[in-house]
Amino acid sequence: MTTPLYCAEAARRDYAQRLAERFQLPLLSRRPTDGYWLELGAERLELVTTGKHGAVYAEFVEGAARHRREQGGGRGQPVAKAIGLKGAKEIPSVVDATALGRDSFVLASLGCHVTLVERSPVAAALLFDALDRASSHTDTADIAARMVLVHANAIDWLATLAEADKPDVVLVDPMFPDTDKKSAAAKKDMQAFQQVIGDDLDTLALLSAALAAARRRVVVKRPRLGPAIAGIAPSAVLDGKSTRFDLYSIKALNSSPAA
Ligand SMILES: C[S@@+](CC[C@H](N)C(=O)[O-])C[C@H]1O[C@@H](n2cnc3c(N)ncnc32)[C@H](O)[C@@H]1O
């Protein structure tokens, strides 16, 4: 199902047109009366629906992003530890292969260059708009400059990388049908995205593409008690309160004896 775009701000029609073309979103001349749609207002692009809950958008400047930027715990944050940033001599380059954006922003704010690969046109358009706003704000412009958005399926995109362009780390955090429903209910944004984007059912192919592209490690974010992707045992596990990171070390994989 395609999610359309409605421009509620006459002065932003050109930008709406660019978004529609870039992310292949049908551009509506009237606000829909049901379902989900993207709405461009004076301030930002939002994912909107009738009744159920308020608008959802990507945000790198204010709110939770500001809090994490200012009080977030630096390299001690779980995702930073998971990619090996804590104690690292050199800052690893990262491809976020499932980039709804929050993890990417944390890593970019800690100095990583992050390529955000997102296949959903809705999520990619929201990310594009959030990055656009972050680029023009003094507090976040330098962080946004370390983030590059690619609208593609990461399974295909990772396979096109030349040897010299391969990242140190690939981060994978797919939408799972088995996501903890209680915590999902608490997060209205994830609920909305789950409705519009749906579950990611090709995670084994994504893990394989990630393992073939990463130089040092693949990091898979999972619900704390969820199974590993396709039951493939990681080389190490980092447990958090509600989330777990499964770490696949490329060195360990390459040195393990052939089956
Ligand atoms: C659970 S969300 C990721 C949340 C993200 N880690 C964050 O911190 O905001 C999963 C996202 O990955 C995207 N995705 C899943 N498989 C993908 C693939 N093969 N290529 C690109 N994007 C993918 C989905 O469209 C969805 O937006």
| Per-residue model confidence as pLDDT tens digits over 183-217 | 544 467 777 888 888 888 899 999 999 999 999 99
Residue 246 labelled as part of a binding site: no
The confidence band for 259, taking pLDDT boundaries of 50, 70 and 90, is very low
Complete DSSP assignment for 166-212: --SEEEE----TTS-HHHHHH-HHHHHHHHHH-----HHHHHHHHHH
Q: Are 67 and 147 in a shared domain?
A: yes
Q: Are 186 and 83 in a shared domain?
A: yes
- Percent above pLDDT 90 for the chain: 71
**Residue 186 belongs to some domain of the structure:** yes
Q: What is the mean pLDDT of residues 238-254?
A: 88
Question: Which ligand 1 atom lies nearest to the CA of residue 98?
Answer: 12
Q: Are 67 and 162 in a shared domain?
A: yes
The confidence band for 117, taking pLDDT boundaries of 50, 70 and 90, is very high
Q: Are 130 and 196 in a shared domain?
A: yes
**Residue 242 belongs to some domain of the structure:** yes
Q: Are 10 and 99 in a shared domain?
A: no
Q: Are 184 and 213 in a shared domain?
A: yes
> What's the 115 CA to ligand 1 centre distance in angstroms?
13
> What sign does the dihedral 189-190-192-197 (CA atoms) show?
positive
Q: Choose one of 95, 118, 176 to mutate for the ligand 1 pocket test, by most ligand atoms within 8 angstroms of C-beta.
A: 118
Q: Are 134 and 245 in a shared domain?
A: yes
CATH code of the domain containing 152: 3.40.50.150
Query: In this structure, which long-range contacts are made by residues 239-246, counting pairs with CB atoms below 8 Å and at least 24 apart in sequence?
Result: 240/78, 242/180, 242/183, 243/78, 245/78, 245/79, 245/81, 245/82, 245/219, 245/220, 245/221, 246/219, 246/220, 246/222
pLDDT (tens digit, 9 = 90+) per residue, 119-128? 999 999 999 9
> What's the 156 CA to ligand 1 centre distance in angstroms?
14
Q: Are 43 and 166 in a shared domain?
A: no
Distances (CA, A) of 154 to 93, 162, 210: 16, 14, 8
Q: Are 21 and 145 in a shared domain?
A: no
**Residue 54 belongs to some domain of the structure:** no
pLDDT (tens digit, 9 = 90+) per residue, 157-185? 999 999 999 999 999 999 876 555 555 44
Which of 30-34, 68-72, 127-131 is the least confident region? Answer: 68-72
**Which structural domain, as residue segments, surrounds residue 29?**
5-49
Q: Are 16 and 105 in a shared domain?
A: no
Residue 163 labelled as part of a binding site: no
Q: How many domains does the chain have?
A: 2
Residue 241: per-residue pLDDT: 85
d(Cα 193, Cα 156) in Å, to the nearest integer? Answer: 22
Q: Are 157 and 207 in a shared domain?
A: yes
Q: Is 222 in the pocket of ligand 1 (CB under 6 A)?
A: no
Q: Is 102 in the pocket of ligand 1 (CB under 6 A)?
A: yes
Instruction: Identify the CA nearest to 222 among candidates 204, 201, 237, 202.
Output: 237
Q: Are 29 and 149 in a shared domain?
A: no
Q: Is 80 in the pocket of ligand 1 (CB under 6 A)?
A: no
**Residue 206 belongs to some domain of the structure:** yes
**Residue 114 belongs to some domain of the structure:** yes
Helices (H) and strands (E) in the chain, counts: 11, 11
Residue 216 labelled as part of a binding site: no
Residue 178: per-residue pLDDT: 53
